[in-house]
Structure 1
Amino acid sequence: MSVTIWFDPSCPYTWRTSRWLRAAAGRRDEKVVWRFLSLAVLNEGNDDVPERYRLSHQRALAALRVLAAVDGRHGQDAVDRLYSAIGERVHGPADRYLDRDVLVESLAEAGLPAELIDAADDASLDAVVRESHDAGQQRVGTPSGSPVVAFDDHPAFFGPVLSSVPADADADQAFEGLRLLSGVREFSEVKRARDPLS
């Protein structure tokens, strides 16, 4: 049994979802498979995206290049460590911009070689990011933002969108509920009002 998340590191809701998923999967001795989703790629050609979001998406693309290089050279555990370090800085109490300084600090915290920061400027890694992004979009079946989550070999979901990380019992209930729903081919969508981030 496996669980896969496609993520853009700039998204604060995705960060909360990733912490829920990681903890709930860990209590079951399951590993999370980390894949890349780019909001920059998703919004290509969309002139309605405000400039501040465009800048955020481009900074995230630089981070995704570094994450892709880390995945290729050091594997999934290293991706987990690096995304955790990035997320704590960007989506935690410090609330920093996802910039080069954050990437440099996060590589150091994750115990990864400092020269991996050069990947942020390596446009050849965009092909790796795009391939992962496209695989996630295909799996969910419709253009979707971050995160996309898939259980086992079932179709993926956009979401879940979490405003905060639930307590363990609720987290486990959500995990099992989504896993069960993922196996129901006829299930398409469920939605309610989004709570503010906390």
Structure 2
Amino acid sequence: MSARTVDFHFDPMCPFAYQTSVWLRRVREQLGIAIDWRFFSLEWVNHVEGKKYPWEREWSYGWSLMRIGALLRRRDMAALDAWYGAIGAELHERGGSPHRREVARRLLDELGFGAATLDSALADPTTHTEVERDHRRVLAAGGFGVPTLFLDGEHCLFGPVLVDPPAGEEAQALWRVVTGMAALPQVFELQRPKSPADTARIAERLTPYVRGRDWVSIDRGRLVDLDGLVNGDTDDRT
């Protein structure tokens, strides 16, 4: 198949979703595909009984950043595009902490949106509703984590999971693999086993993210728990 649009569901705290978004931006530059940015909450899908849901906190790392994104998306998809790019680079490349309110305000100012956008987004209950709607769409399709893609609005795939996003012809080659798998509905999973060397390389690549984050994976509480980081890394506060 030859998809022209991609709905990309992400949680801004997920390092793998961010790397996949970098690849997809490169595909967009080369092939002119359209990306519609959508949300999915790892905090919610991995909720632990007895802890607060993300919307029950005054400020919740990924959920609050996505509510800001929801407000920006109403203005223009390009605004959300820029917001995700900025907070993703801050955490996953520079090891900063965009999930801290003061950093989020700074980034909003740098993008020209104004720091007060944060307050406007959190004061508007419908931004919560928009994040929830995007999240439930993934669940309804049988999804469980990020990145989740909907190609041309219907073909749902989890992944690809990347740590070194390909560029140039390799980016296009991966795009052909992804769209090719979407065209084969009887194929449900294709996975590459991780050798010890692969695990070490992934851990090294995640160093900025580990430095910038303020939480541990709820799955096992280890910093390099690859399955947990893909599907279960979350804001683990009460």
Task: Tell me the TM-score normalised to structure 1 length.
Answer: 0.85
Question: 1:60 corresponds to which residue?
Answer: 62
SS at structure 2 position matched to 1:187: coil
Matched, 1:21 2:16: no
Q: 1:40 aligns with which of 27, 39, 43?
A: 43
CA distance in 2 between partners of 1:63 and 1:120 (Å) = 9
- Per-residue CA deviation, residues 163-184 of structure 1 (Å, 9 max, x unaligned), is 1212322211111110121122
- Per-residue CA deviation, residues 97-149 of structure 1 (Å, 9 max, x unaligned), is 521122112212222133211145337222110101111232xx324111101
* Residue correspondences, number: 188
Counterpart code for 1:100: R
Mapping 1:168-183, distance limit 5 Å: 168-183=168-183
- Per-residue CA deviation, residues 21-52 of structure 1 (Å, 9 max, x unaligned), is 111122111221100111122123x3499xxx
Question: 1:52 corresponds to which residue?
Answer: none
Counterpart code for 1:7: F
CA distance in 1 between partners of 2:153 and 2:64 (Å) = 30
- Per-residue CA deviation, residues 65-86 of structure 1 (Å, 9 max, x unaligned), is 10011112x2100000111111
Question: 1:127 corresponds to which residue?
Answer: 129
Question: 1:161 corresponds to which residue?
Answer: 161
Name which one, 1 or 2, has greater alpha-carbon Rg: 2
Counterpart code for 2:158: F
Q: 2:73 aligns with which of 71, 82, 93?
A: 71
C-alpha spacing 1:9/1:157, structure 2 compared with 1 (3 Å): same
Counterpart code for 2:135: H
Mapping 1:104-143, distance limit 5 Å: 104-119=105-120, 121-122=122-123, 124=125, 125-138=127-140, 141-143=141-143
CA distance in 1 between partners of 2:188 and 2:136 (Å) = 20
Q: Please state how far the C-alpha of 1:155 moved relative to its aligned partner.
A: 2.3
CA distance in 2 between partners of 1:153 and 1:11 (Å) = 23
Runs (4 or more) in structure 1 with deviation over 6 Å come to none
Counterpart code for 1:151: L
Question: 2:83 corresponds to which residue?
Answer: 82
Can you give the 5+ residue segments of structure 1 that lack an aligned partner in the other structure? 50-54
Counterpart code for 1:41: W
CA distance in 2 between partners of 1:62 and 1:153 (Å) = 26
Contact 1:5 1:148 in 2 (8 A): yes
Contact 1:36 1:133 in 2 (8 A): yes
CA distance in 1 between partners of 2:119 and 2:61 (Å) = 14
CA distance in 2 between partners of 1:153 and 1:146 (Å) = 16
Question: 1:145 corresponds to which residue?
Answer: 145
